[in-house]
């Protein structure tokens, strides 16, 4: 068999907040790691998006960081990397469960023979997962964590490197302020991703303008109002689709938290014919729903773009490694972001880079 899926951690309780550290004792090249959280609710009142349970994922070799970001951003980056959505079930109903899968992709696509994480190149490969089940879903004390790896088996490859993803900067936006983020120049940059999770409004209200430059501003690679960029870029990605379930109290609004932050549409239906569901107009992560009478679950699809409030800038036309931005040849690169008139004052904007790190 050329490929196999390896269980690194069988489902284990994470009832207590903490950090799970796992040695990655593999010798075969790794194409993808999947970090999976399944939480069971004890009531039907949403706290936040269940993806928030994973506070941080760190893949490291001693002090050398190979991957670092929170669970929501990891899900978004996996989606943008390959235009394929990790599985997602959002459920806020008492006694039922949500499942979120944060995928860490080391290749441009699954079983990429050119880019993969080769454990033989490292001395002490580990994954560390910081978690707190009280941060997402509905209230509950039962949650499991599991980790899987997709690896090359009898398929012998010699990868040239791997996708190197990490958070490089964060800030709490101030209305109409500009932020200047110098980008790392050690490895070619395949993409830049930025945004804030759990925003009360769409990404274009949180950030109004973007600009990407190189060589101390001599060349402008991308410059746009956020709204225009969101319209243009969304055409190149399949909509993110969530299966969502909630239990609204009769005739009262219930706010649920969903993944798409832009051009979001909800098709929630009641599970009893006598009831009706009303979806109030809203944007960002918060979806407000109302049931005509109490006693029925609202269930259906929520779909849209820019998962977890993230925006993605590709620096390549296709999947050729040589197409990416060789920032080191230009000496410098900078991302410039302008906050909107009414940014979300509770959520940090985080900036991530996806680089091609060679062995």
Cα separation, 85 vs 71, whole angstroms? 14
Does the pLDDT value for residue 19 go beyond 80?
Answer: yes
Q: What SS3 class is residue 260?
A: strand
pLDDT confidence band for 5 (50 / 70 / 90): very high
For residue 120, which phi and psi values (nearest 5 degrees)?
Answer: -65, -15
pLDDT at 358: 95
Per the prediction, the chain carries an average pLDDT of 91
Cα separation, 224 vs 220, whole angstroms? 11
pLDDT at 276: 65
Among 168-177, 182-191, 251-260, the least confident range: 251-260
For the chain, first and last CA: distance in Å?
Answer: 26
Does the pLDDT value for residue 224 go beyond 70?
Answer: yes
Residues ≥6 apart with Cβ < 8 Å to 331: 185, 215, 216
Tell me what percent of the residues of the chain surpass a pLDDT of 90: 72
Q: Report how far apart, in Å, the C-alpha atoms of 87 and of each of 79, 100, 241, 342 are.
A: 10, 7, 9, 32
Does the pLDDT value for residue 340 go beyond 70?
Answer: yes
Q: Report how far apart, in Å, the C-alpha atoms of 237 and of each of 76, 85, 94 are.
A: 12, 10, 34
Does the pLDDT value for residue 41 go beyond 80?
Answer: yes
Cα separation, 262 vs 283, whole angstroms? 7
Nearest residue to 245 via CA among 137, 143, 145: 137
CATH code of domain 3-236+306-358: 2.60.120.20
DSSP secondary structure letter of residue 117: B
Which pLDDT tens digit goes with each residue over 100-132?
999 999 999 999 999 999 999 999 999 999 999
pLDDT at 118: 97
Which pLDDT tens digit goes with each residue over 262-307?
888 877 767 766 566 766 666 778 777 777 666 778 888 888 999 9
Stretch (H or E) spanning 208: strand 207-214
pTM above 0.85, yes or no: yes
pLDDT at 265: 81
The mean pLDDT of 226-231, rounded to a whole number, is 94
pLDDT at 273: 60
148 touches 7 (CB < 8 A): yes
pLDDT at 280: 64
Which pLDDT tens digit goes with each residue over 313-332?
999 888 888 889 998 887 88
Cα separation, 21 vs 24, whole angstroms? 10
The mean pLDDT of 195-200, rounded to a whole number, is 86
Q: Report how far apart, in Å, the C-alpha atoms of 153 and of each of 1, 20, 156 are.
A: 6, 26, 7
Q: How far is CA 83 from the centre of its chain?
A: 12
**What residue spans define the domains of the chain?**
3-236+306-358
């Amino acid at each position: 068999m050329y490929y196999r899926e390896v269980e690194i951690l069988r489902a284990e309780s994470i009832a207590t907040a903490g950090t799970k550290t796992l040695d990655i004792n593999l010798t075969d090249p790794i194409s993808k790691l999947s970090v999976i959280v399944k939480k069971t609710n004890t009531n039907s009142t949403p706290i936040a998006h269940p993806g928030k349970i994973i506070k941080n994922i760190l893949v490291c070799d001693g002090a050398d960081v190979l991957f670092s970001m929170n669970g929501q951003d990891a899900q978004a980056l996996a989606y943008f990397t390959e235009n394929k959505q990790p599985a997602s079930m959002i459920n806020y109903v008492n006694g039922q469960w949500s499942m979120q899968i944060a995928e860490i992709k080391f290749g441009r696509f699954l079983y990429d023979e050119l880019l993969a994480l080769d454990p033989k190149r490292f001395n002490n490969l580990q994954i560390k997962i910081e978690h707190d089940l009280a941060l997402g879903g509905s209230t509950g004390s039962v949650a499991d964590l599991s980790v899987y790896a997709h690896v090359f088996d009898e398929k012998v490859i010699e990868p040239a490197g791997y996708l190197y993803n990490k958070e490089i900067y964060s800030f709490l936006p101030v209305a109409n302020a500009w932020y200047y983020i110098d980008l790392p120049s050690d490895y070619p940059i395949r993409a830049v991703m930025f945004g804030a999770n759990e925003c009360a409004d769409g990404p274009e209200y949180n950030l109004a303008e973007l600009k990407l430059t190189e060589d101390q501003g001599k060349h402008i690679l991308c410059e746009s109002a956020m709204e225009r960029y969101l319209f243009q870029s969304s055409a190149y990605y399949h909509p993110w689709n969530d299966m969502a379930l909630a239990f609204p109290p009769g005739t009262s609004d219930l706010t649920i938290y969903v993944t798409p932050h832009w051009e979001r549409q909800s098709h929630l239906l009641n599970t009893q014919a006598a009831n009706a569901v009303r979806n109030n107009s809203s944007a960002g992560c918060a979806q407000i729903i109302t049931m005509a009478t109490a006693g029925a679950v609202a269930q259906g699809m929520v779909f849209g773009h820019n998962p977890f409030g993230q925006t993605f800038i590709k620096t390549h036309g296709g999947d050729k490694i040589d197409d990416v931005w060789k920032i080191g040849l230009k000496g410098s690169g900078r991302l410039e972001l302008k906050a909107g008139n009414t940014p979300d004052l509770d959520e940090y904007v985080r900036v991530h880079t996806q680089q091609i790190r060679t062995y």
